[in-house]
Amino acid sequence: MKIYIDGKFLPESEAKISVFDHGLLYGDGVFEGIRFYNGRVFRLEGHLDRLWDSARAIALTVPLTREEMTTALLETVRQNELRDGYIRLIVTRGIGNLGLNPENCKGASTIIIAASIALYPEEQYRRGLDVITCGTRRMAAAALSPQVKSLNYLNNILAKIEAMQAGAGEGLMLNEQGYVAECTGDNIFVIKRGGLMTPPISAGGLRGITRDVVIEIAKELGVPFHEPELTRYDIYTADECFLTGTAAEIIPVISLDKRMIGTGKPGPETARFTARFRELTQSSGTPIY
C-alpha cells in the first residue's frame, strides 16, 4: 500500500507522522471519508467542499489548492491500482509542541489513504441492523458544530462502545433536548406512510454526503420528503428505517431498543432507494484513470 503524506508516496511501513503533530496530540484537524466505484470518485466535489468548510471553521489553512488536492487524491488511488474502495483524506494542524497554541505549529499536514472497506458484514445489509439508543448525547452545537468533521470523534466513540456492549449494530444519539440527531457514524432516515423523513441538521447531525444523495433520490422518485424534529417515537412507529453514510452506504434498520420497526425486515422503499443509489455510484463521479 502506498500512502500520500505531504507530497510523497510512501510504503505503509514508512508512512509515519511526528508524535508532536497536533492531530495526534489533540485531535486538531479535519478529515473526509470518500468512496470510489468502478474507477470513479463519487461526489468528490461535495467532500472537498465539506473539508474546506470544516478547515475554515477551525481556522486551519489547507496546505494544498483544490486542484492540487484532487490531483494528489486521484494519484493515491492510482498508486494502489484500485478501482473500488475508500479514501481517507486527513488534514492535521501539523507539528507543534506540547502546548495547545496552534500558532506554534509550523504548517498543516495532508495525509491520503486509499484502501478497501467493509463497514458492516454483508449479512447485515440483507437482514438489517438492530440499533439501541445511547445514553451518550450528541455534542451540543454551541460547544463544537457537528458540521465540523474533526479528528476528535470521542463523543461518537463513547456512544459506539455503548452500542457494542449492548450487542447492537449501531447506536442512536439524541441531542440535549432529547430529539434524534444521528447515529454514531451515520445519518438516519425513516419512511412513514409513503413519506421520507430525517432530522434537520440543526438537531445535531452531520450533513452527510450520502444523506444529500438520498434526498435527491427522493425528489427524483417523487417521494414526499420532510425534515421535522424526530423523537424515538417516530422511529418506533416508522414503516421502515435506514442509515446512510459514505462507508455504510445505505443499510436497513429493523429494530430500535429491541422494538421491531415495521415488519422487522428491510422494506421495499429502502430497497428502492438502495437500488437507485447503487446505480448512481456505478455511473457517475470523477474519473480516476
> Residue type at 225?
F
The pLDDT, as a whole number, for residue 160 is 97
Check: CB of residue 172 under 8 Å from CB of residue 73.
no
Please indicate, yes or no, whether residues 102 and 155 belong to a single structural domain of this protein. no
Please indicate, yes or no, whether residues 170 and 239 belong to a single structural domain of this protein. yes
Among residues 112, 34, 37, the alpha carbon closest in space to that of 71 is found at 112
The reply to whether 34 falls in a domain is yes
Among residues 183, 190, 175, 153, the alpha carbon closest in space to that of 267 is found at 190
The reply to whether 103 falls in a domain is yes
pLDDT in tens, 74-88: 999 999 999 999 999
> Could you say which of 115, 131, 153 is where a domain stops?
115
Please indicate, yes or no, whether residues 190 and 212 belong to a single structural domain of this protein. yes
Give me the residue label for grid cell 502546548: 99
Reported as type and span, the H/E element at residue 183 is: strand 180-183
Q: What is the mean pLDDT of residues 225-237?
A: 98
Other CB atoms closer than 10 Å to residue 185's CB: what's the count?
Answer: 22
Number of H helices, E strands in the chain: 8, 16
Reported as type and span, the H/E element at residue 48 is: helix 44-57
CATH number, domain of 78, equals: 3.30.470.10
> Could you say which of 115, 136, 158 is where a domain stops?
115
pLDDT in tens, 101-111: 999 999 999 99
Please indicate, yes or no, whether residues 10 and 83 belong to a single structural domain of this protein. yes
> Which domain does 42 fall in, by range?
2-115
Q: Which residues are catalytic?
A: 149
| 240 Cβ neighbours under 8 A, 6+ residues apart | 190, 191, 252, 261, 262, 266, 267, 268, 269, 270
Q: How far is CA 79 from CA 8, 50, 76, in A?
A: 11, 25, 5
> Could you say which of 84, 100, 115 is where a domain stops?
115
Please indicate, yes or no, whether residues 150 and 223 belong to a single structural domain of this protein. yes
* pTM for this prediction: 0.95
Residue 200 per-residue DSSP state: -
The pLDDT, as a whole number, for residue 277 is 98
Dist. CA 151–CA 18, nearest whole Å: 16
Among residues 164, 140, 172, 161, the alpha carbon closest in space to that of 261 is found at 172
User: Which cell numbers in the block locate residue 99?
Assistant: 502546548
Residue 95 per-residue DSSP state: B
Please indicate, yes or no, whether residues 140 and 276 belong to a single structural domain of this protein. yes
The pLDDT, as a whole number, for residue 113 is 98
Please indicate, yes or no, whether residues 235 and 193 belong to a single structural domain of this protein. yes
Is the dihedral angle over the CA atoms 164, 267, 240, 214 positive or is it negative? positive
Q: What is the mean pLDDT of residues 174-189?
A: 97
pLDDT above 90: residue 282:
yes
pLDDT in tens, 24-77: 999 999 999 999 999 999 999 999 999 999 999 999 999 999 999 999 999 999
CATH number, domain of 212, equals: 3.20.10.10
Please indicate, yes or no, whether residues 249 and 145 belong to a single structural domain of this protein. yes
Dist. CA 151–CA 17, nearest whole Å: 15
The reply to whether 289 falls in a domain is no
pLDDT in tens, 118-129: 888 899 999 999
How many folded domains does the chain comprise?
Answer: 2
The pLDDT, as a whole number, for residue 34 is 98
The reply to whether 80 falls in a domain is yes
